[in-house]
Amino acid sequence: MFAAILRYYLPGDHVITSAGFSTRKWRLTGYKALPEAIESVLSVTNGAINLDDHRATPIELFNLREFDLIYNLTKHCHEWMESNQINHTNIVLDDPYDMATQTVDLEKHRKCVENIVLEVSRIVAEITST
C-alpha cells in the first residue's frame, strides 16, 4: 500500500518499488495483495492505482545500495537494515494483518492507511521542496 500510494502522490518519473522483508520467511513470495489493501489503495488514489496485479516480492531480490531512498515499515526490517549498514528511513506502521490467525484487523487497517497517507504527504513535501 505504501509504495502504491507514494507512486500516486509523488510527481515526476520516480521509480518506486515495493519489497517485503519477511516474504520468504512466511512463504508469501508471489502472493497477491489482500482485498483490504486493494480496496484502500483504490479509495486513496481515486481509482488510479489498482493492486490486482501486485505480487509479494522478497527484499533479498534487490541490491538495496542502488536505491537513492529506502523507507522501511517494520521494526525487524529496520534492525536488518541497520545490521547490514543500509541507509534507510525508518517508518514503523502497525501491521493490521495477523499471520497467526490470517485475518485483518479492520480498525488497525484503517489507522494504517491514515498513517501511510500522512507519511507519504510528508515524504512528497520533502522530496519536492529540494
Structural domain boundaries in the chain: 2-128
What cell was used for 21? 522483508
Query: Which DSSP helix (H) or strand (E) runs through 109?
Result: helix 106-128
The reported pLDDT for the residue numbered 102 is: 86
Q: Structure pTM? A: 0.89
pLDDT-derived band at 30 (thresholds 50, 70, 90) equals: confident
* pLDDT tens readout for residues 38-82: 999 999 999 999 999 999 999 999 999 999 999 999 888 999 999
**2-128, what's its fold?**
Rossmann fold (3.40.50)
CA distance 77 to 81: 6
What cell was used for 16? 518506486
DSSP bridge partners of 103: 98
Distance of CA 80 to the CA centre of its chain: 16
What cell was used for 128? 519536492
